[in-house]
A = this chain, B = another copy of it.
Amino acid sequence: MALIVQKYGGTSVGTVERIQNVARRVAKTFDEGNEVIVIVSAMAGETNRLVALANEISDMPDEREYDVLVSTGEQVTIALLSMCLKSMGYKAKSYLGSQIPMLTDKAYSRARIEEIGDKNIRADLQAGTIVVVAGFQGIDSDGNITTLGRGGSDTSAVAVAAALKADVCEIYTDVDGVYTTDPRIVPEARKIDKISYEEMLEMASLGAKILQIRSVEFAKKYNVVVHVRSSFDDSQGTLVMKEDQEMETVLVSGVTFNKDEAKISIFGVPDQPGVASQIFSPLGLNNITVDMIIQNISHQGATDITFTVPKTDCKKALQIIEGVAKDINARGVSHNTNIAKVSIVGVGMRSHTGVATTMFDTLAREGINIEMISTSEIKVSCVISDKYTELAVRILHEAFGLDRQAQEA
């Protein structure tokens, strides 16, 4: 007998009919002799409906009350799914964040989980009850409702799996796993059978939006095996788990890309201590996330600094940086929104050389100019002109043999 946590997103529970499908799948897992905890999101569209109500009242609705409002979405789903399971003859019980309890800090609408009680749920599981948990929501130490931020249900699921020491946390979604790259661009993209937490983190933050980054961090911290799979069929998906030897034999696990960033350069920055801080502090204060930063060696006491920001923040960032450039006597500022970041990710890179070179060579062979480079232990990213994005992804996917690797043992 295994303890299985299953998480179903908003699309999977978007109608009563779909909730009934989820109930059948949950019941099947239970009938196979497992203990089951189900985490669900709000029905698709419901959170947007609630947010629209709040925005009718204020552009900046009160944060505490915002969480009271939007958490009703998941509450509706757990009630309906539990009803459904009961009408099918199963014992089932819904749990709000406050009933688990799922204790968080007090940061409304982006709360972090601090502690999860396992006593109540454990007792229900032992009594043969299917436990249905509202994702996304928690409670702070004063009994206020908190929420974990958009997509927080993934994190709820992994956190509950960690607290209850579940054997696996199955995340049901509308794709059947994690792919070596976007199959819409490269039809030869393959489903990855196993991927390490680190790789998944790099893939997710680089634009593969299958799992919330925070949920992967949580899974890594507590060593929870996450199974990303399709809610529409029974096929095996992708296991996100601790790195093993098998994974290391693969140099590159996936190719990702991101077209949502813009590049800003400051020329002729006086090369003196404190300059970088003068540039980036005001961006941070304005909640602008800076991704890549490149500063090269200086000539004649001046250097150039280039960095990327989300395209949506480009205008605001430019205004700030033009002011800063004057203050520090830099020569000028330029920007470019027609860029893309292409990355290769793989834990195998750690123990193999030449991976970055293969990437640069491959791009060069097609005449694709590299504008910026950034690397981590298990990732190499290049900024290129965005018109070459699809071409770059295709040739890199092929160059690292991702279309023909057999990952299985």
Contact = CB atoms under 8 A, between A and B. Distances in A.
B75 A61 contact: no
A65 interface: yes
A78 B66 CA distance: 10
Contacts of A65: 78-80, 82-83, 86, 94
A185 interface: no
Interface string A63-88: 01110110110011011101110110
Interface stretch (A50-58, A161-169, A188-196, A369-377): A50-58
A62 B82 CA distance: 8
B75 A57 contact: no
A53 B82 CA distance: 13
A60 B84 CA distance: 11
A79 B57 CA distance: 11
Chain A residues touching B, majority SS: helix
A19 interface: yes
A83 B99 contact: no
A93 to B, nearest CB: 7
A109 B82 CA distance: 16
Report the copy number of this chain in the oligomer.
2
A97 to B, nearest CB: 11
Contacts of A75: 68-69, 71-72, 75
Nearest to A144: B99
Given A16-B53, A98-B98, A143-B99, A69 B80 contact: yes
A361 to B, nearest CB: 57
B83 A57 contact: yes
A21 to B, nearest CB: 12
Contact of A79 (B69, B78, B82, B143): B69
A98 B144 CA distance: 10
B62 A68 contact: no
Nearest to A143: B99
Contacts of A62: 82-83, 86-87
B68 A50 contact: no
A211 B65 CA distance: 29
A20 interface: yes
Contacts of A84: 57-58
Contact of A72 (B57, B60, B76): B76
Contact of A19 (B57, B86, B99): B57
Nearest to A67: B79
Nearest to A99: B143
A54 B145 CA distance: 25
A130 to B, nearest CB: 12
A127 to B, nearest CB: 14
A249 to B, nearest CB: 49
B58 A87 contact: yes
A374 to B, nearest CB: 42
B76 A93 contact: no
Query: Interface centre among A57, A60, A93, A98, by most B CB within 10 Å?
Result: A57
A85 to B, nearest CB: 9
A96 B79 CA distance: 17
Contact of A87 (B19, B57, B94): B57
Interface string A346-390: 000000000000000000000000000000000000000000000
10 contacts: A16-B53, A16-B57, A20-B57, A57-B84, A61-B87, A64-B94, A68-B79, A68-B82, A69-B76, A98-B98
